[in-house]
Amino acid sequence: MSEPVLKVDNLSMDFGGIRAMSELDLEVCKGEIVALIGPNGAGKTTFFNCVTGIYNPTGGDVHLHPPSGEPVRLNGLKPNKVTEQGMARTFQNIRLFQNMTVLENVMIGRHCRTRSYIAGAVFKTKATRREEQETVDKSYHILEQVGLADAVNDFAQNLSYGAQRRLEIARALATDPFLLLLDEPAAGMNPQETSELDELIKRIRDGGLSILLIEHDMKLVMSLSDRIFVMDYGKKIAQGTPEEISANPVVIKAYLGEDIDA
């Protein structure tokens, strides 16, 4: 196994007296696609929120290992700082900036990689103009990759569902991540769109990124993932390659329930 980019140890999250996630260990290695699956309410999105700084986990450690430099401990960092470290995410319920254009949505992703501020904006200095041009070029390039180049000036809310999901990925890619967290990227997509997404995710991986995704579409999970983690009731119940997981009795039990006369 190559070097890890994300290392999660003993991660727990309590909401008052409710333990949404307990002592979870997980590792994503460089260039790997890892899937996190589990029945509804298993704590997958809670896990994402803890890792990306939206929740502050009540126990355990999250370490990010940037390709260059020292590992960073992410616990307690604000979401924007986490993104700056090089880990970007998408959301399960699409959270686009609906009243902004497609291009502007992606340009927002460049925010943490650019510097110009009020004075630069008002006086339109040379540095600002160059930075702005770079932002536009880069954003357009990313939109071409995800196949939205024809819609640059449309409002995000006017896109089809599948296109909105792709735009979310594009926006996350614009932050220059080395690790991409996708929360149910195929939810609500038709088979055609799902197979396109399959290719897109593989292309992103081939571009040198590591990917951690939550997904319910088992066909997609099995075809994409190098390794799979399974959660149920806030705990990790299994991990392994797609073949191992699909044959694992514990996983089958979690998804389909137990045989009565067993």
Partner 1 sequence: MFQFQELKKSLLVSLWFAFLTFPLLVIKVDPIERTVLWRWDNMLYVVLGSFAISILVRVFNVQKERRRDRRASNHTIDREPLMQVVLREPRYLYPLAGAALLFALLFPSLFSIYQTNIMITALMYVVLGLGLNIVVGLAGLLDLGYVAFYAVGAYSYALLNFHFDVGFWIALPIGALLAALFGILLGFPVLRLRGDYLAIVTLGFGEIIRLILENWNAFSQGPSGISNISRPGLFGIDLSLEGSILYMYYLMIAVVIFTIFVVNRLQDSRIGRAWIALREDEIACQAMGIDKTRTKLTAFALGATWAGMVGVIFAAKTTFINPASFTFLESAIILCIVVLGGMGSIFGVIVGALILILLPEHLRALSEYRMLAFGGVLVVMMIFRPQGIVANIRRSYHFEKKPGGEGQ
The answer to whether 47 and 236 have CB atoms below 8 angstroms apart is: no
Which residues ranging from 227 to 246 are in contact with partner 1 (CB under 8 A)?
Answer: none
When binding is defined by CB under 8 A, the residue of 22, 45, 46, 52 that contacts partner 1 is 52
For residue 174, the minimal CB distance to partner 1 (Å) is: 8
What tokens does 155 get? 């409002």
For CA atoms 198, 88, 140, 106, the dihedral sign is positive
170 lies in the site for partner 1, by CB under 8 A: no
| DSSP tag of 155 | B
Token pair listed for 237:
């119940």
Question: Smaller CB distance to partner 1: residue 73 or 81?
Answer: 81
In the set 65, 165, 166, 171, which binds partner 1 (CB under 8 A)?
171
Alpha-carbon span 38 to 237, nearest angstrom: 9
Joined together, the tokens standing for residue 116 give 């110009």
Of 39, 120, 240, 242, the residue at the interface with partner 1 (CB under 8 A) is 120
Instruction: Tally the residues of the chain.
Output: 262
How many other CB atoms are there within 10 angstroms of residue 228's CB atom?
26
Residue 109 interacts with partner 1 (CB under 8 A): yes or no: yes
Which spans of this chain sit near partner 1 (rule: CB under 8 A)? 52, 54, 78-80, 83-84, 88-89, 91, 95-101, 103-104, 107-109, 111-114, 116-118, 120-122, 124, 128, 131-132, 135-137, 139-141, 144, 149, 152-153, 155, 171-172, 175
